[in-house]
Structure 1
Amino acid sequence: MNIVKVSGKTIEEAAASAVTELDAKTKDDIDYKVIEEPKKGFLGLIGNRSAVIEAQRKLDPAEEADRFLRAVIEDMGVPVRVSQEVTRDRKVIFQLNGEDPGIVIGRHAKTLDSLQYLVQLAANRYADKHITVTIDAGNYRQRRRETLKQLAENLVSKAERTGGKVMLEPMPPQERKIIHAALLRSKRVKTYSDGTEPRRYVVIAPI
């Protein structure tokens, strides 16, 4: 992390110099601490002392997420390309694409979910405002979302046909949310989650 020590007649002047040296846009993009307060000498001439500060650029969560993700992927030795999108509502979405994205997806996306969790921790470690990180590989999450929606619709028919509850296999929270959302407005069934983590599951029951 680049830390600079700069001086100026006033703290504001020193901060402005730090913004330039750190290639930041405004003073809001840096953190600094005052090492020496400015002091006016005798008659404003003799014994004057400049303000001295130590400053560094504030960490950008999206940049930290990108740096951490690329470092982990390099350590894993997985040949994938990383692309990033930052949305207006402070969501950072990474897409990983390559010949074999299954390596970073893992069984039931456990590797992908773990990677996403670690990257989010790294991104928010020093962040002033929390950001949400989503990582997808080979468009897995979108395909999985469509599969779960179709599964939900199919199981509605089963619940109605049998007149009983239909229990799905245990799923992570984000996948259970997809099922609940898909059937939220259904007038034929209701859904709820049961069980305890990590084997919590969705129940579809006729109304």
Structure 2
Amino acid sequence: MPRTNGDELMTESTTQLGASERPELAERIDQAVPVVRTFLEAVLGLLGVEVEVDIDVEQDGLHCDLNTSEADEGLLIGRRGVTLDALQYLALRVLQAENLGRMRLTLDVGGYRSRREKSLRELAKTAGERVLDTGRPHHFEPMSAMERRVVHMCVLEIGGLRTESEGEGARRHVVVFPDEGAGEDA
């Protein structure tokens, strides 16, 4: 079986991959489904959480919905999604340990990810408007790379602003600045 460096595949979008690389990624994604399902059911079973794992195969990875009781949703999500992020990280590590390479994997519980994205978009819009009004930078709370990306993209849509990520590790956060190159009309 030919070896492909999974890191290279993840630096390009799947639409840019050559035709010979797409089937290999699709094959790895298909092989990942039972691995992820078994891992999640085992770990959550150890926690005493009854869960149904629904896995959707996407072009560049997997999206897993963990369907459980409302009482267990909070346990699986954790404060600001920390538990869900940790579980997602561990599932990715299991895939790498199984030599399935890197791929996108998203875990969700009760629509938390879409609710959080909507909330982040609203926060980013409010912060962006405040920065435009005051001319002072706005520092967001520390957040995951996925959440920082949502904030960066939303603020870019506003215009007249720029963003940077600052800090390291668990303290990494987004800062919104007025874009000094956009003109001084405000």
Work out the CA distance in 1 between the residues paired with 2:54 and 2:97. 22
- RMSD between superposed Cα atoms in Å: 1.8
Q: 1:170: which partner in 2?
A: 142
Higher helix share: 2
Q: 1:76: which partner in 2?
A: 47
Q: Size of the alignment, in residue pairs?
A: 149
The structure having more radius of gyration, on CA atoms, is 1
Deviation >6 Å, runs of 4+: none
Normalised TM-score (structure 1) = 0.67
Question: Which residues of structure 1 form unaligned runs of 5+?
Answer: 1-58
Deviation of 1:81 after TM superposition, in Å, equals 2.2
Higher strand share: 1
Q: Structure 1 residues 130, 195: CA separation in 2 closer, same or farther (over 3 Å shift)? A: closer
Asked if the contact 2:127–2:138 (Cα under 8 Å) also holds between the matched residues in 1, the reply is yes
Work out the CA distance in 2 between the residues paired with 1:131 and 1:201. 24
Among 37, 43, 60, the alignment partner of 2:31 is 60
Q: 1:157: which partner in 2?
A: 129
Query: Secondary structure at the residue paired with 2:156?
Result: coil
Query: Secondary structure at the residue paired with 1:94?
Result: strand
Query: Secondary structure at the residue paired with 2:169?
Result: coil
- Greater relative contact order (Cα < 8 A, sep 6+): 2
Asked if the contact 1:194–1:203 (Cα under 8 Å) also holds between the matched residues in 2, the reply is yes
Normalised TM-score (structure 2) = 0.74
Deviation of 1:129 after TM superposition, in Å, equals 4.4
In the alignment, structure 1 residue 138 sits paired with structure 2 residue 138: no
Among 59, 67, 71, the alignment partner of 1:97 is 67
